[in-house]
Structure 1
Amino acid sequence: MKKYITLCLLILLVQSISAQRIVEGVITDVGGRPVSAAIIKTVDATTKKTLHFCQTDTKGKFTITAQEGNILSISAISYKKQELKVTMDMPAQHITLEEDTKTLSEITVKAKPIKIKGDTIQYLLTTYKKEGDRTLADVLARVPGFDVNKENGEIQYEGKSISNFYIEGMNLMGGKYGLATKSLPQEDVATVEVMKHHQPIRVLDDFTYTDDNAINIRMKQGAKARWMTTYSGGIGLKSHGGLWNYETFAMRLKPSFQTILTYKTNNIGKNIRRETDNLLSFNELQSPLSAMLSLPSPSPLLLKGRSLFNRTHVVSLNALQRIDENSQVNVQITFVNDRNEATSLRHSDFYTNSGIKTIENRKQYLEKSNDLFAKIKYENNAKNHYLKNELSGDFSWNKQWLNEQGTQPHKMMGNLPIYTLKDNFSIMKKYGKRLITLQSKNIMDVRPQQLYVDSLVQSINQHYYETNTDVSGSLRIGRFILSGEIGVNAGEHRFTSDLVGVPDSIGLLMGKSSFAFASFYTNPSIEYTVKDFNFTLSGDMSYNHYKYSLDNGQSKFLFSPNLQIRWKATATWTFSANASINTMQINAAQFYPTLVLQDYQYMNKGLADYNLSKEKSVGIGVAYSDALKGTSIRLRITKSFGTSPYTSTQDFVGNYIVESLTSGDTKYNSWNMFLMGSQGIGFLKGKLNVKALYNAMNSYMVQNSQQMPYDTKNLKITSNLDIGLIKGVDLAYKLTYGFHQMKMPAFGKTSNLNSWKHEGSLRIPLCKVLSLETLTEYYHNEIAQKEFKDMFFQDFTLIFKAKHFDLSLAWNNVFNNKSYSYGINNTLSSSFSNQDIRGRELMLSFYYKP
């Protein structure tokens, strides 16, 4: 009998063991980010008893024992619970958790303003919003650690520009996220997540260390279930004519689809064109062509809205369709129609070895432009592979007019179109601890341009083509990551120029040429991580062949080693150091045979020379970050010194200044320093920001065959304080100081220019639905040596706020100031400008959000 019982027990045990299996997988949120500390349990389907449990690691991975028929239960804070049935042939699982709307609503009421989970910092946006805030940019600018550019919407976190901008985990906007920053209604945003050390390509997680920061915008649940729309606009009066402003924004969010539509127009000096700037380059090829034809116009953006006389229209369409869990298609179209004008009086002194040459002209400038940008991108971003193909076109039709009266009266007109096409292809595949990558990048830049100066005509046609294809691989061996890249880079620059109306004696006026290059390169690197230290040693090596159509060409070998060290000393302190020796590639755009008329005064002359510039640099960095205390500090100091095989030349020939390069070593050295500090002030719902930039450089140029040394120093310090004094009363103050120095030993002269700007704003509630905003600006600018100009501006805005709409009445530039004065130091020259600005204006506006 005992034998039978023992046999039955053995049979049951064997069956139980045979039914058991190991279930493994990874858990992520809807944005593809790993969910750490999620609870995984196996539950008996009949008794509901928990059999086994485990937690996911920092990468969202788990392994658990289960039997066929068990229930696999997955739960995590702030996410909906999921259950799966265990099967006999159950493969590795990739489980996506959705946010728990009930939990999110509780967070809105009870959670702390800042939560930290691993490398993700979550900011509760409602904690920082104040009366009058409308967009994400308005509130984010007040969050400790963040800095938002008010013009183009660019976001910096702890002194560094963000690397990616996501909305609900999807990259809808790409590099043109400024439109979203400046348009997303803040009341629909729940939280802003900062993802530190963010790697957007999932397959690179185990192979590449990154210090980049990305942000993800989490919308409130109600905003995901409908179209989000806002409407704002207004009409007003100015000295000569009327004012208008209108903006509409529409957004739809679905689990697999996102779209943003905007239309904006105004003539009130609001620079909506900057919101379409491409703020992220994504390691694309960039054209080396510069603006060879450029009118010396007053700056329409000098004083931001006060100096911009514009008529602007912007239309944008952004759509993203998620095909499956890993792949998506993205389409972007942006069109800008812009007209702006500026008027100024400029006094310029040019320091020469034969004395000071002075020009004083009254400038009247007009620019009309149409810009079209279109992009389509397919991306498949899986854990073991990556595929991307992106095609974009950027087309600009730009015309400029400049009329100058004074010492040298001239009339100029420039027709300056630029057409750029890009294609970027990338494929990556992971094989265990190995990674193989193939990338192909291509660019075409075409610039058929003309400049008319009185009776002179300058025509120039440039075509630039470049392609870059490389294969790379990575291998992880313990604490080491060995990487290598091999590629081919080739391009061609075609140049045609014809200058009519200038005497032939000044130089070659008509001609054409081409410059081609081919480069075979490799970039090996080794990365070693031990405890809190990370070391990366790399070296760019390339064999290059250059061929200019007017000579026999040359070949060069380039080598540029680089060492980077990073030490994560504590949870809050990080130290870094780097050293590099860079050999610069030859600039294809410097090879052309003719003189090119840049404007009525300056001419440029090409140089066909194959010598290489070399630069050595060392840098150290310190960063402190404590998000819970709202404290962040970043300091970076870099010392650079190098030798250029060329010397800049400047020759005064008749009424023209001819600028070029000549063979001959130029040694230079420079210091650069960047300091940023941010401190949140919790009890005042505010923050204090300080930023400093310093640059010093020693160099020289050849002027009329004589060497002219010059030293420059530049310092800019910005400090701003934003606080809430009492409920409903908000105060902001910003101080900006600038110092520019140019020493010219050959002339025994030093030009120092100091500038101060004080800007303060105050919001005061008058009653429950009515409030008053004031903006005060004071400028103290040095326009000549120890000669200062003071300017004072005052704006008032009365705001009526209801449930779904606001009405405001703005009175800008109350004292009706008509000009702004400032000074500038350039290389061996200095100038003073008095620029016209917008006078007194009255504007009635509305804002409506259904």
Structure 2
Amino acid sequence: MIRRHLLFLFLLPLTLTIATAEEWCGVVRDAETGEGISTVQILLLRGESKVIRQTISREDGTFCLDLPDSKSDLTVRAALIGYRTEVVRLDTLLMREGKEILLHRQDFKLPEVQVRARAIEQHGDTVSYRTSAFAQAMDTKLEDVLVRLPDVTVSADGMISYKGRSINRFYIENLDLLGSRYTLASRNIRPEDVASVQIYERHEPIRLLREQSRSDRAALNVKLKESAKKRWLRDLSGAVGGWPPIGKVSGSLMNFQPRRQTILVAKGDNTGDDIIFETRVQNIGMGVVFNPYQLSGGPENLFAERKIYSTFFGRDRRRDNQTAFLSLNHLIALSDSETLRINLNGFHDRNRLREERESHYYDPALGSIDLRETTDYLSRRSATENELTYEQNGEELYLKDILSVRYHHLTTEDNAAVNGQPRTIDMLLPSLRLSNSLTAKKLLGGHLYTAALGIGYSSRPQEMTLAGETPYRLQSDDLTATLALEGTFSIGHHQLSPQIRGGLESYELRIGEQEQDPRKVHSKELTSNLSVEYRYQSNGLELKLTPALSARLQDLPGGRQQHLLPGVSSSIRHDWMGGRTLLIYSFSTSRPELTSYFPHMIRVGLTDYREGITDQGVTRSHNLLLRQEGTAPWDLSYVLTGRGGHVTAPRIYRLSVREGKRIRSYLPLAHSALSGGLSAELSKYFSGPMITLKGTVGWDSSKGDTYQQGLMIPYRGSDLSYGASLNWMGSTLMTLEYGIESDRSRVHIGDRATDLITRSLEQTLRGTLLLGAHWGVSADLQHRYSSSPLYDPINQVFLDGKIYYTRDKLRLQIDLTNLTNVRSEYYRRTDGINSSSRCTTLRGREVLLTLTLKR
């Protein structure tokens, strides 16, 4: 009975009928300049005063309205202060070329009034958050404000999501300066320079696609204050403290003009902050619906220790680092639809890690293998990542070309003792990647045609030296080229998009201890893919069906192989009043990557690894996803998900040789998983306080057969987790944040009589208090608990504090870190066959004094 009720809740929105017909889109333009006008109020009226539909025009002047079945006696009214209100009959607009509404400028003088802006406003698909309503006196970067916005989440590495989906664009004044490296902006733009943060719901970045389909994802736009535009914004900050001495320094230059934008950031740090994350490439593309090797609760992470990462603590206490980076980003708007962007990034990171590890392995032939290791690991990484991007985003033509050059140089020194025997290993791991991708979309005769070309080359000459032995060398070169052609043809509510894609890859691997006589392996792969997507859209309902067929011709050292790999995906999406329901099913067949067919010995640290495919078979996967999101009474937003999948795959193995003893592990031949989750958020803004409550609960289960230590072992597992957070901003004088996350995992291995149960809990509490006009304090408290079989529970408490003083252009801050002086962090895990524990040395109690000069 309960299952029937749950199924009814999932499918109820699909049965709703909305009395609307097709969607009509138009554009509002300035009658003199011809440019699109944003924030124009668009009303669809029946008669003279009855409002049927309403919306607000976007930044480029476009808007969309759902037309009712009956179109008689309808008029469209467009109004904006500074322009003369325009009223046009709908049937006249439908016949007008371009569906344009022209507004004429008109002088308008406001009477003297007192206005108080609201914290959150929504006009059509645009949600605006007034920054000053969510900012606190201690905030130093825009990200500090973003984490408090309703429906917005920011991960520890800086990725921004809206209603559970990562954003697809990060704009500054509607220009895309940083692409996917937007963390540079969110962690360096100051809140006092931002007037508001806008969310463009269901945002389609490519203009010529906006009338054909609506995106499921949102974009974020930063609206700057007038005082922050058209001038250079300068920041300089320095910090010193601790013993041995620690410190950091940072500086930035920013300039935002209507057609030019620049961000220059330079930073250095040895306090534990991983500042290189600011240059991280975030996910702004379409999310992966299904990856057969990354099922939730899959075999590759079934036995991994559960660890919860809190965004309250940015400093990594394990890092003993010296880090610096320089980033230069410049954009020029060549026209209203053309931009040229250059992004140059370089960084250096020196990091030392100290840890002790105990591992217990079981082998039916050798018995128990016990290893005790003490490691002092030092790495030096230098890299440069550069891109030159040209983009033309017009109404009838889209063109984007990206030239990318990336070079990484990594050296490591590993001083270790294994069972009391000292070992030293030096590794040299450089890599070079060159690539160019070109994408073109063109509207011809009402149909859309797409062509994409990609070329890439990568080289990895690597070397490892074990003390007293001959250097071990490995050189790999990979050249790839892909070409894709697609056409999209629309007739009424129906759309057909056939696509053909071809690719060529050449891979060469050279292995050997003697440079003059390496062992060479060479292979080639030719691929071709054919798919046809059918789409139907009407009345908020979208149906999609995509059959696909892939052909692969592989020239391997063992001979030539040919494969035909079919697949299909289908989805149903229904937009209903206040929410959306999505149902997806996919079936796919795939082969492993070309490089996986070369099992070879690779030495990493004190371990020799041999990886590859024991059975060159085909991976087959089924996946079903159901997602429902909406808004309930009291502005309660929620997301409900259900997911199931089944995978059959070739056996992928990992053979390790430790101290001359073989340790084997395998991924399974079959795996099934089922999961579900619910997340909800409630935000209320009163005349004084702002209260935000978030909650989430998740459950997943899995079962299958895994191979470990030469044994085939059936397993099944389940996991239950929940989390909640409360943010109370009583006023600008005091705020309080509390969060809790808990996880309980149960695994049953083979014929064991009992299950293995692992528990983890994390609680975080942050409070801020303004002591006067210029003084303030904050405290961060974190409690971590975990327990697993065979080991004692882990129970740790961390306490950090801050004292700050700000006045005019000066800011002084004192950071008190790890006041409880926890010096070690423990990680433990067991899977019923093998077990291990790791103890990592942490940074101790530290005091850091930071001085910031504002422009």
Calculate the TM-score normalised by the size of structure 2.
Answer: 0.83
The alpha-carbon deviation at position 799 of structure 1 amounts to 1.3
Q: Tell me the alpha carbon deviations over residues 396-430 of structure 1, each in whole angstroms, 9 at most, x when there is no partner.
A: 11112222224264322221222222211011110
Q: Residue 780 of structure 1 aligns with which residue?
A: 785
Q: Which moved more, 1:271-280 or 1:224-233?
A: 224-233
The alpha-carbon deviation at position 714 of structure 1 amounts to 4.5
AA aligned to 1:485 is: Q
1:407 matched to 2:412? The reply is: no
1:353 matched to 2:364? The reply is: yes
Counterpart of 1:759 (choices 744, 748, 764) is 764
* SS at 1:676 equivalent: strand
CA distance in 1, matches of 2:793, 2:131: 43
| Gap runs ≥5 in structure 2 | 1-25, 45-53, 65-76, 87-95, 294-306
Cα RMSD between the aligned structures?
Answer: 3.8
Q: Residue 404 of structure 2 aligns with which residue?
A: 392
Residues 82 and 222 of structure 1, relative CA distance in 2, 3 Å threshold: farther
Q: Which moved more, 1:814-823 or 1:462-471?
A: 814-823
Counterpart of 1:583 (choices 589, 598, 606) is 589
Q: Residue 311 of structure 1 aligns with which residue?
A: 322
1:483 matched to 2:497? The reply is: yes
AA aligned to 2:320 is: F
Counterpart of 1:343 (choices 354, 360, 369) is 354
Q: Residue 641 of structure 1 aligns with which residue?
A: 646
Q: Which moved more, 1:696-705 or 1:537-546?
A: 696-705
Q: Residue 547 of structure 1 aligns with which residue?
A: 555
CA distance in 2, matches of 1:278, 1:587: 23
Alignment check: 8 A CA contact 2:138 2:776 kept: no
Q: Residue 49 of structure 1 aligns with which residue?
A: none
CA distance in 1, matches of 2:415, 2:256: 50
Q: Residue 497 of structure 1 aligns with which residue?
A: 511
Alignment check: 8 A CA contact 1:741 1:825 kept: no
Counterpart of 2:530 (choices 503, 522, 526) is 522
Q: Which moved more, 1:628-637 or 1:312-321?
A: 628-637
AA aligned to 1:554 is: Q
Residues 633 and 31 of structure 1, relative CA distance in 2, 3 Å threshold: farther
1:450 matched to 2:468? The reply is: no
AA aligned to 2:127 is: I
Q: Which moved more, 1:771-780 or 1:382-391?
A: 771-780
CA distance in 1, matches of 2:507, 2:795: 49
The alpha-carbon deviation at position 108 of structure 1 amounts to 11
Q: Which has the larger radius of gyration?
A: 1
1:202 matched to 2:207? The reply is: yes
The alpha-carbon deviation at position 743 of structure 1 amounts to 3.2
Q: Residue 298 of structure 2 aligns with which residue?
A: none
Q: Residue 74 of structure 2 aligns with which residue?
A: none
CA distance in 1, matches of 2:433, 2:653: 30
Q: Tell me the alpha carbon deviations over residues 51-99 of structure 1, each in whole angstroms, 9 at most, x when there is no partner.
A: xxx999887379xxxxxxxxxxx9754777899xxxxxx9979899999
Alignment check: 8 A CA contact 2:482 2:501 kept: yes
Q: Residue 681 of structure 1 aligns with which residue?
A: 684
CA distance in 2, matches of 1:126, 1:101: 30
The alpha-carbon deviation at position 311 of structure 1 amounts to 1.1
AA aligned to 1:27 is: R
CA distance in 2, matches of 1:212, 1:352: 49
Alignment check: 8 A CA contact 2:666 2:708 kept: no
Alignment check: 8 A CA contact 2:456 2:479 kept: yes
Residues 849 and 400 of structure 1, relative CA distance in 2, 3 Å threshold: same
CA distance in 2, matches of 1:108, 1:437: 52
CA distance in 1, matches of 2:109, 2:145: 23
AA aligned to 1:324 is: S
Alignment check: 8 A CA contact 1:451 1:458 kept: yes
AA aligned to 1:115 is: E
Alignment check: 8 A CA contact 1:723 1:731 kept: yes
Counterpart of 1:252 (choices 255, 262, 273) is 255
Residues 709 and 100 of structure 1, relative CA distance in 2, 3 Å threshold: farther
Q: Residue 482 of structure 2 aligns with which residue?
A: 468
The alpha-carbon deviation at position 139 of structure 1 amounts to 0.6
Residues 60 and 582 of structure 1, relative CA distance in 2, 3 Å threshold: same
Q: Residue 382 of structure 1 aligns with which residue?
A: 394
Q: Residue 717 of structure 1 aligns with which residue?
A: 722
Q: Residue 543 of structure 2 aligns with which residue?
A: 535
Q: Residue 131 of structure 2 aligns with which residue?
A: 125
CA distance in 2, matches of 1:498, 1:827: 38
Alignment check: 8 A CA contact 1:328 1:379 kept: yes
Residues 392 and 564 of structure 1, relative CA distance in 2, 3 Å threshold: same
Q: Which moved more, 1:109-118 or 1:329-338?
A: 109-118
AA aligned to 2:140 is: R
Residues 519 and 568 of structure 1, relative CA distance in 2, 3 Å threshold: same
Alignment check: 8 A CA contact 1:202 1:382 kept: yes
Residues 647 and 319 of structure 1, relative CA distance in 2, 3 Å threshold: closer
CA distance in 2, matches of 1:230, 1:172: 19
The alpha-carbon deviation at position 676 of structure 1 amounts to 2.7
Residues 98 and 307 of structure 1, relative CA distance in 2, 3 Å threshold: farther
* Residue correspondences, number: 772
Matches within 5 A, 1:26-425: 26-27=28-29, 37=41, 60=62, 76-77=79-80, 110-149=116-155, 151-238=156-243, 241-280=244-283, 282=285, 304-353=315-364, 355-407=367-419, 409=421, 410-425=423-438
The alpha-carbon deviation at position 437 of structure 1 amounts to 1.0
Alignment check: 8 A CA contact 1:189 1:220 kept: yes
Q: Tell me the alpha carbon deviations over residues 577-631 of structure 1, each in whole angstroms, 9 at most, x when there is no partner.
A: 11111111332121215333344234214348642110011111111247x9653
Calculate the TM-score normalised by the size of structure 1.
Answer: 0.83
Residues 714 and 495 of structure 1, relative CA distance in 2, 3 Å threshold: farther
The alpha-carbon deviation at position 699 of structure 1 amounts to 3.1
Q: Residue 673 of structure 2 aligns with which residue?
A: 670
Q: Residue 728 of structure 1 aligns with which residue?
A: 733
Alignment check: 8 A CA contact 2:788 2:830 kept: no
Matches within 5 A, 1:592-607: 592-607=598-613
Q: Residue 504 of structure 1 aligns with which residue?
A: none
Alignment check: 8 A CA contact 2:447 2:490 kept: yes
CA distance in 1, matches of 2:160, 2:111: 27
CA distance in 2, matches of 1:740, 1:108: 57
CA distance in 1, matches of 2:412, 2:113: 54
* SS at 1:174 equivalent: coil
Residues 734 and 653 of structure 1, relative CA distance in 2, 3 Å threshold: closer
Alignment check: 8 A CA contact 1:32 1:169 kept: no
